[in-house]
Amino acid sequence: MDEVCGGWTAVKPADDHVKAICNQAQHDVEKQEGKHYQEFLALKYRSQLVNGTNYLIEVQVAHNECLHLKIHQSLPCYGNQTKVTGVQKKKPSDELHVF
């Protein structure tokens, strides 16, 4: 089974849906971090099915710098809203852990 309600999936390569979520979140992340990123490329992710979906996404923002983003996407009946709920600075070799 790919997703278990309440449990986190294994790490997967970023697909088009996750890349689109990242693109939507980029402005909020830049505002929160106080900087503009020339590069903002979703690499991999984990997801958790709750009242909507939580995503942990690794985003490459420079040659040897990544951000781990925690993003919540609400259910379609609640507008499918995307909200950044956490940002951590990481290296590409760091594991994608829940924070």
Q: Quote the pLDDT of residue 4.
A: 58
Check if the beta carbon of residue 41 is closer than 8 Å to that of residue 55: no
Q: Quote the pLDDT of residue 20.
A: 95
The yes-or-no verdict on residue 13 having pLDDT over 60 is yes
Check if the beta carbon of residue 46 is closer than 8 Å to that of residue 85: no
Q: Quote the pLDDT of residue 90.
A: 81
Asked whether residue 48 is domain-assigned, the answer is yes
Closest listed residue to residue 8, CA positions, set 59, 62, 44 = 44
The yes-or-no verdict on residue 3 having pLDDT over 60 is no
The yes-or-no verdict on residue 96 having pLDDT over 90 is no
The yes-or-no verdict on residue 89 having pLDDT over 80 is yes
Does 53 or 91 have the greater pLDDT score? 53
Asked whether residue 65 is domain-assigned, the answer is yes
Asked whether residue 76 is domain-assigned, the answer is yes
Phi, psi of 47 (to 5 degrees): -135, 160
Q: What is the pLDDT confidence band of residue 16, given thresholds at 50, 70 and 90?
A: very high
Closest listed residue to residue 73, CA positions, set 54, 99, 46, 48 = 54
Number of domain units in the chain: 1
CA atoms in the 13 A half-sphere facing the CB of 82: 18
Range of the domain at 17: 12-90
Least confident of 2-11, 21-30, 84-93: 2-11
